[in-house]
Chain A
Amino acid sequence: EVQLVESGGGLVQPGRSLKLSCAASGFTFSNYGMHWIRQAPTKGLEWVASISPSGGSTYYRDSVKGRFTISRDNAKSTLYLQMDSLRSEDTATYYCATDLTTRFDYWGQGVMVTVSS
């Protein structure tokens, strides 16, 4: 069974940093691209970042470029999102997702990030 379990969320002040993790199981992690998607409270879904299976290619939405870094450790089957210079507009539930059959077919349960002073 495919499982994605996010952790690392919480309350953080504007300008500070936070690192999210996503532990994967039930599939060969190193064979698949991985993604972070977020959903602000009572809002829609927004793609944040993606990483290739090897980790050699990364992609970001414009609003997080230069502030967020997606990475992966294939030996640990874990995906990361390092978030620096956080802003109030980054407040959201963050989901990790993968592409076993199609883009974003399996999602984790999500982790809440609140940026507030």
Chain B
Amino acid sequence: DIQMTQSPSLLSASVGDRVTINCKASQNINKYLNWYQQKLGEAPKLLIYNTNNLQTGIPSRFSGSGSGTDYTLTISSLQPEDFGTYFCFQHNSWPTFGAGTKLELK
């Protein structure tokens, strides 16, 4: 199985900050990389699919980039509703998720 190493595991930031979350795959995943946001007690919500495609209804402050084994989620200006846990996910082969990044208020 492809292993997804996500960093950092915990990120403290303030409203208005620019933040980045990274995900590294154990092998090339050909840009089949999605990003999800999960809030406590809720299902994950798709933000970005196939590296850099914004899901319908997701604000443009979210963006994704990367190729090969290395991928990044960027939030350009943090809003209060953005705090929660973020997961990366690869679907190039048998699906696997990153361990998550908890984004908390500094």
Residues in chain A within 8 A of chain B (CB atoms) = 44-47, 61, 95, 101-110
Contacts and interface: CB of A to CB of B under 8 A. Distances in A.
23 contacts: A44-B87, A44-B98, A44-B99, A44-B100, A45-B89, A46-B97, A47-B94, A47-B95, A47-B97, A95-B43, A95-B44, A102-B50, A102-B53, A103-B89, A103-B95, A104-B89, A105-B49, A106-B46, A107-B43, A107-B45, A108-B43, A109-B42, A109-B43
Q: Interface of chain B, helix or strand or loop or mixed?
A: loop
Q: Interface of chain A, helix or strand or loop or mixed?
A: loop
Contacts, number: 47
B34 A104 contact: yes
Among B34, B44, B91, B100, chain A packs the most CB atoms within 10 A around the CB of B44
B55 interface: yes
Nearest to B45: A107
A104 B55 contact: no
Given A45-B97, A108-B43, A109-B42, A102 B87 contact: no
Contacts of B97: 44-47
A39 B34 CA distance: 17
Contacts of B34: 102-104
Interface residues of B, number: 21
A41 to B, nearest CB: 12
Nearest to B94: A47
Contacts of B53: 102
A105 B98 contact: no
Interface string B53-72: 10100000000000000000
